[in-house]
Amino acid sequence: MQSKNDGQLVVDLSPEQFQRLIKENIGATKALQLATAQRKETEEALRDSEESYRTLLNSIDDGFCVIEVLFDDAQKPIDYRFLQVNASFEAQTGLVNVIGQKMRALAPSHEAHWFEIYGKVGLGGQPVRFENEAKALNRWYDVYALRVGPPQRRQVAVLFKDITERKRQMQEYQLVMERLEQSEAALHDKVRDLELFHDVVVDRELKMMALEKEVSMLQERLARWGDRWPGNETKSQPGNGSTDE
C-alpha cells in the first residue's frame, strides 16, 4: 500500500513483501557481481591471449602482417593498408613505420599481381601458398595468406619469408648446370672429332700398309721375271783342262 505523508511518498509493505524484496535485490546484486567478475575474467583472458599472440608473432624469424585489401568501384583490388606487423617485418621487407600506410605509397612500382592475389583471398576466403618476386623491394618471397575476420572487412593475414638468397643460389646452380651441359656437349663433339680422325688415320695407315705389301710383292715378281728374261740367263763357266786346237 502507498500513501503520501507531507508530500513524500510512503510505501507500506507487509513483512512478507519486505522479505521478498530483500531477497530479490540480493539475488540481482549477486547476479550483477557475478556478471562483472566474469566479464573481468574474460577481459583478462583476452589480454593474456593477445599478449601470447604478440609474443609468438614477435618470436618468429618470418615476417607477418595483417592487411586491409582496398578495392575500386569495380571491385578490383588496387592497394592494401597495413594494420599490424611483427618484429621481423622490417628485416624481411626493408620497410619501416608501415602501420596505417598503403603499400603503393611505400613502393609505387609494387607489382599488381600482389594486390590480385590478396584480393582473391580477401573476397573468396581461400588460403593460398605461393612464391613470387617483389621487384620493387628487390626480393623474392615464400608466402602464406589467409583471410581473417568477417568477409566485409577484407582483411588478410600474411606470413612470409625472404627467399632471395635461395633463389640466387638456385639461379647460380642452374647456370653452372647449363655450362656443364654445354661443356659436356663440346667434349662429346671433340671426342667424335677424335674418333673420326682416328678412323681416317687408321684407315689411311691400313691402306698404306696394304699398298706397301702390294709393292713389295710386285718387286719380288719383277725380280723373278728379270732372271728369266732372254739374254739374262745364267751361263755355265768352261772347266779347267780344256784343249787347244
**Full pLDDT tens readout for the chain, 245 residues:** 444 555 555 555 566 665 665 666 655 555 555 556 666 766 666 665 667 667 777 778 999 999 999 999 999 999 999 999 999 999 999 999 999 999 999 999 999 999 999 999 999 999 999 999 999 999 999 999 999 999 999 999 999 999 999 989 988 888 888 888 887 777 777 777 777 777 777 777 777 787 777 778 777 777 777 666 666 555 544 555 544 44
Residue 127 domain boundaries: 60-162
**Does residue 78 share a domain with residue 140?**
yes
- Are 79 and 115 members of one domain? yes
Same domain, 134 and 178: no
Boundary-marking domain end, from 162, 180, 198: 162
Reference 81, options 94, 97, 99; nearest CA is: 99
230 is a domain residue = no
- Say if 240 falls within a structural domain: no
User: Hey, what's the cell of 71?
Assistant: 578495392
- Based on the domain organization, do 111 and 196 belong to the same domain? no
Picking from 148, 149, 147, 145, the residue whose alpha carbon sits closest to that of residue 158 is 145
Residue 156, burial from CB neighbour count under 10 angstroms (0-12, 13-18, 19+): buried
Q: Identify whether 65 is part of a domain.
A: yes
Specify the residue for cell string 540481482. 28
Please name the helix (run of DSSP H) or strand (run of DSSP E) that holds residue 38, with its range, or none: helix 15-59
Give residue 101's pLDDT: 97
Q: How many domains is the chain built from? A: 3
DSSP alpha helix (H) spans, 62-163: 89-93, 103-106, 112-124
What pairing do the DSSP bridges indicate for beta strands 128-134 and 8-11? unpaired
Do 152 and 80 form a contact (C-beta atoms < 8 A)? no
Quick one: 150 and 64 in the same domain? yes
Residue 70 lies in a domain: yes
Q: Examine the domain organization and report whether 142 and 195 are in the same domain.
A: no
Report if residue 236 sits inside a domain: no
Pair (31, 113) in one structural domain: no
Per the domain annotation, does 36 fall within a domain? yes
The model's pTM: 0.56
244 located within any domain = no
